[in-house]
């Protein structure tokens, strides 16, 4: 059994001062760095959007955090964030990235958002992470990072659905908590068989 730490989107735009800041997003960095040594593998994910992405409110002159309907279902329209090559898309400066065996980028398809580390938001287009984990014999995952109620949640539920043993370390996550989204995410993760530690 091989146990990997999956570090979700600890990027400047999701930390205080960023375009889509998660309250306390930077507070978890020291704990994540310390945890890395306890795992057989460390994988980082990175939101990586082209400018004008279809999930950006500015693409439609809409209000940030409003909703729209995409071919794959409802979509939050976000402030422009994590644009490829930007300072905001970079990992938090204090995050230990040298320990990562793999960095997986997501959200680079302009037509579809990608919260999960495993699938784009159509829930069918894979990122390739599942294959990587299986070929390495990794069957147990602990997830940490940003944000609990979106990218961590979607990644954890998908991982459990794919048959991985999944834990979310809640003390090393922070949430947006948009309109009750944190409580809904916690219920959904538990229902999917994810352990919330």
User: What does the pLDDT look like over 130-157, one tens digit per residue?
Assistant: 999 999 999 999 999 999 999 999 999 9
What pTM was estimated for this model as a whole?
0.96
Q: Is 9 among the catalytic positions?
A: yes
pLDDT band at 27 (very low <50, low <70, confident <90, very high): very high
pLDDT digits (tens, 9 = 90+) for 42-80: 999 999 999 999 999 999 999 999 999 999 999 999 999
Of 106, 113, 158, 169, the catalytic one is 106
Does residue 13 carry a catalytic annotation?
no
For the beta carbon of residue 31, count every other beta carbon within 10 angstroms.
12
Q: CA–CA distance from 87 to each of 46, 121, 145 (Å)?
A: 13, 25, 18
Of 15, 82, 151, 173, catalytic: 151
Helix (H, G, I), strand (E, B) or coil at 166: strand
Q: Is 106 a catalytic residue?
A: yes
């Amino acid at each position: 059994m091989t146990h990997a730490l999956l570090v979700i989107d600890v990027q400047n735009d999701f930390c205080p001062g960023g375009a889509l800041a998660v309250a306390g997003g930077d507070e978890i960095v020291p704990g994540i760095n310390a945890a890395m040594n306890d795992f057989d593998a460390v994988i980082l994910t990175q939101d990586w959007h082209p400018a004008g992405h279809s999930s950006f409110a500015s693409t439609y002159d809409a209000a940030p955090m409003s909703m729209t309907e995409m071919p794959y279902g409802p979509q939050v329209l976000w402030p422009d964030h994590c644009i490829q090559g930007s300072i905001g898309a970079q990992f938090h400066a204090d995050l230990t990235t040298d320990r990562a065996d793999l960095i997986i980028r997501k959200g680079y398809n302009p037509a579809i958002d990608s919260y999960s580390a495993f699938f784009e938001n159509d829930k069918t287009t894979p990122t390739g992470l599942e294959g990587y984990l299986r070929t390495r014999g990794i069957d147990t995952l602990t997830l940490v990072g940003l944000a609990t109620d979106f990218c961590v949640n979607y990644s954890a539920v998908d991982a459990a659905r794919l048959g991985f043993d999944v834990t979310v370390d809640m003390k090393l996550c922070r949430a947006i908590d948009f309109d009750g989204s944190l409580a809904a995410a916690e219920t959904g993760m538990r229902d999917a068989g994810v352990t919330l530690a």
